[in-house]
Amino acid sequence: MSFVEYGDTIKDGDTAIVFLGHESMFPVKVQHGSVTQTKYGVIRHSTDLIGKKYGSKVTCSKGGWVFILHPTPELWTMNLPHRTQILYSTDISIITMMLELKPGSIVCESGTGSGSLSHALIRTVAPTGHLYTVEFHQQRAEKAREEFREHGVEHLVTVTNQDVCKNGFGVSNIADAVFLDIPSPWEAIGHAKSALKAEGGRICSFSPCIEQVQRTCLAMEEYGFTEINTLEILLRVYNVRTVSLQIPDLGKAAEDNSSTGFDSSNPSHQGSSCANLQQGTVQFKSGVPLREVVGHTGYLTFATKS
């Protein structure tokens, strides 16, 4: 199993996604002899998972069933264990596009955090690219190395435990892109410029506060970056529902009014008017926005090394 190469069958040691529904799924490490408890009953790894095809429908001990999915960066973002606040697919998609990443690209990242963006970057630059990711916190760096090894992508990523603002990324003049998600990104702009290739490299900084963005933009200008721009991605989700509306027979109502001398301005006649108009119903699909939506997550600042 690898996050960048699809495998047909579930093997001992794989990370798989147990899918109970669109709002209910979780990762599980497949191990011979182990069991996983769900609300539909027990899943026995040896008999229910190992050797089965990914995407299989597995019946649990209580008679309910789940699907076993092959892991992807998108599914991992939705199910990973949170060690820090993470980036989600909405921001990740625009980051990979605006940094102009492709197979073979070299990317530097700080900090690694929970590895949500890291897995997406690795999948994008595979099979010949590489990710150099720097994490200040030692335990988080060690956990990230362990996850990359379990997910079959350790050959595509180098994890370094150090302070990027003081020590940089450990590489020079090779990166096609640099991504910063740290409290004071303006202190790392000089090291980012050193890591980027001689000309045309792209940089992105993620910050939740506009004051951070202001200081970062000033630092980018000071180090000679061009095409500096900041944007914010806001996701608005719609629910598709079946709506029933009554159909008024306007023609018949107008005819009745003219023939009987109906006075629509008279309040006593309004009830009978509504009864005449309500002749039937029709059903159709309608997109309805959620009453509560996710607000501001962060600002993305992009620039180009001139």
Binding-site annotation: residue ranges: 114-117, 135, 163, 181
**Contact predicate 205/300, CB 8 Å:** yes
> In angstroms, rounded to a whole number, what is the distance separating the alpha carbons of residues 127 and 3?
11
Using DSSP's 3-state secondary structure scheme, residue 28 falls into strand
Paired strand residues for 178 = 108, 203
- CA 273 → CA 106, 246, 253, 259, distances in Å? 71, 14, 8, 14
> In angstroms, rounded to a whole number, what is the distance separating the alpha carbons of residues 135 and 170?
12
Concatenating the DSSP letter of every residue in 184-197 gives -GGGGHHHHHHHB-
> In angstroms, rounded to a whole number, what is the distance separating the alpha carbons of residues 13 and 96?
30
Nearest CA-CA partner of 68 in 98, 31, 35, 28: 28
- Annotated binding site for S-adenosyl-L-methionine, which residues? 114-117, 135, 163, 181
